[in-house]
Structure 1
Amino acid sequence: MSFDLSDLLRDWPYEPGQLQVRKITGSDGREKLQLRLDMGVLQMEMNGRPDGREPHGVETELEHQTERAEQTGADFELSEDEVGELQAEGVQYYHRYLALFQLGDWQGVIRDTKRNLDMFTFVAKYAADDESAWSVQQFRPYVMMMNTRAKANLAIEKDDVDAAIKLVEKGIAAIGKFVKDHNRDGEADASEIKSLGEWLTELRKLKPMTPVEKLNRELERAVEDEKYERAAELRDALKALQKKS
């Protein structure tokens, strides 16, 4: 058996600036994810820990540390190295949810982003100092944004734009609260709110207007165009419609 990957890489050429992802069936019969990188291919399991390992005989390092915390009680504390292990594991889930997002697997993105958000909460609770806690918490706004996008996209697939809009509004509010609570007003934190805000504007354009909204829009245009007789007719129509409702 040859260990040379040249043929595989040649058949799937790298394209700079493109996130290239595909699903394959492994030799074990299980579905796997592959992410094309400039220097090769990153392969991940679809479920469980992305690298397929089971540290300490359980599914994840987070599960292991959670069990330790429950057994130890109030005196439990994460060392700097243990926080580093949890963060490294979180990076694996980051790569996978990015790949799943590219494939439109919204449920998978929701699962993996929630898992990392749970890890951030765990580290914030048990880290030995604020600096260690912030080493992972600093990524919370981004992961919250990706979680929100996945949930909203799932709603859009079900033709529920209203639900998608509410989810994005909720996500923006939650990120804003986190930024305010942690006094982190830098550009990196604000970028997630800006990104979701721009998407929210686009989503609102997809929402069908009510009869009242349509008349108001037409009235605004009539006034702008100085079509005052038409504007008067529209005002009367609005009053009549509002009385009925």
Structure 2
Amino acid sequence: MHLDDILSEWTFDPSNLNVRLVKGKDGRDVIQMRVDLGVLQLETTGRPDGTAFKECETYLDHLLVVALEQPETVLTEADCAEVDREFMQFYHRRICWLRLQYYHRAVMDADHTLRLMDVSNKMSPDEDWTSSHEQYRPFVLFHRTQAEALGELEDNTAEEAIQAINNGLETMRSFFIEHEAEEHFDEDELVVRLTEMRESLRSEYAVGKTLKEQLHAAVEEEQYELAARLRDELTRREAN
């Protein structure tokens, strides 16, 4: 099919993320994203562009092998460009999974990006390059937390969705603390949005404090017997 035919039958809507899951000619699933000037097509597994690197499925996998075999390796300019390509490709697929409501796949792609950040930062050519990428960590954590919470809501309970948001917020807080910016945490736009999502779930599903929230409060108030009971209940739930 000529590209003109695809574009004419799938009009770009600038007010929405235009995404669909379709079958390729060989029967495999692919994601298509309609953008202003055409269509992006992404593989659903491995690297979104389908590229392999020396028998590694993604550039992250390649870097992990390099780091294991040559721990002192520093990223070259070409390496940095490839890392950036992989960041962008996984960003596109992550937002597609969110739009398609494949929440667990969005979590997986967010985790890939976070691992890529960790590995590439250790191999970074300089501090400026590291900082230019680390600034996006809260954004990736935001997407991951959203996706995990919605997945928990879909598969389990609203309480577990709320706890997923709490866990994500704590991870984000650690990032702010690490970068000596904790005073800006509560007012950060992404933090505010996750907090609003949590309280909306709490209100809509009539959820009080989660077990972990109750445990935290009991410890803060030095109610150690209550804390012990809550900890036992948490252990029991996690074992099931």
TM-score by length of 1: 0.79
Write out aligned runs for 1:107-146 (5 A): 107-146=104-143
Out of 116-125 and 49-58, give the one that drifted further: 49-58
CA contact 2:47–2:58 (8 Å) conserved in 1: yes
The question of 1:63 aligning with 2:61 is answered yes
What's the offset of the Cα at 1:133?
1.3
% identical aligned pairs:
30
The superposition leaves residues 148-207 of structure 1 with CA deviations (integer Å, 9 ceiling, x where unpaired) of: 1111111111240111111101111211220221135779x9221111011111011023
CA contact 2:149–2:164 (8 Å) conserved in 1: yes
The residue matched to 2:40 in structure 1 has which SS? strand
- In structure 2, list runs of 5 or more residues that go unmatched: 209-240
In the alignment, the residues of structure 1 paired with residue 37 and residue 181 of structure 2 have an alpha-carbon distance, to the nearest angstrom, of: 36
Whichever residue aligns with residue 57 of structure 2, its letter is E
Structure whose CA Rg is larger: 1
In the alignment, the residues of structure 1 paired with residue 36 and residue 73 of structure 2 have an alpha-carbon distance, to the nearest angstrom, of: 42
The superposition leaves residues 4-30 of structure 1 with CA deviations (integer Å, 9 ceiling, x where unpaired) of: 311111111111111011011001210
CA contact 1:161–1:206 (8 Å) conserved in 2: no
- In structure 1, list runs of 5 or more residues that go unmatched: 211-245
The residue matched to 1:57 in structure 2 has which SS? coil
In the alignment, the residues of structure 2 paired with residue 129 and residue 63 of structure 1 have an alpha-carbon distance, to the nearest angstrom, of: 22
Which residue is 1:100 aligned to?
A: 97
The superposition leaves residues 85-114 of structure 1 with CA deviations (integer Å, 9 ceiling, x where unpaired) of: 112111101000101100100111011000
In the alignment, the residues of structure 2 paired with residue 125 and residue 209 of structure 1 have an alpha-carbon distance, to the nearest angstrom, of: 41
What's the offset of the Cα at 1:81?
3.4
Out of 21, 26, 29, the residue aligned to residue 28 of structure 1 is 26
Equivalences, count: 206
TM-score by length of 2: 0.80
CA contact 2:201–2:207 (8 Å) conserved in 1: no
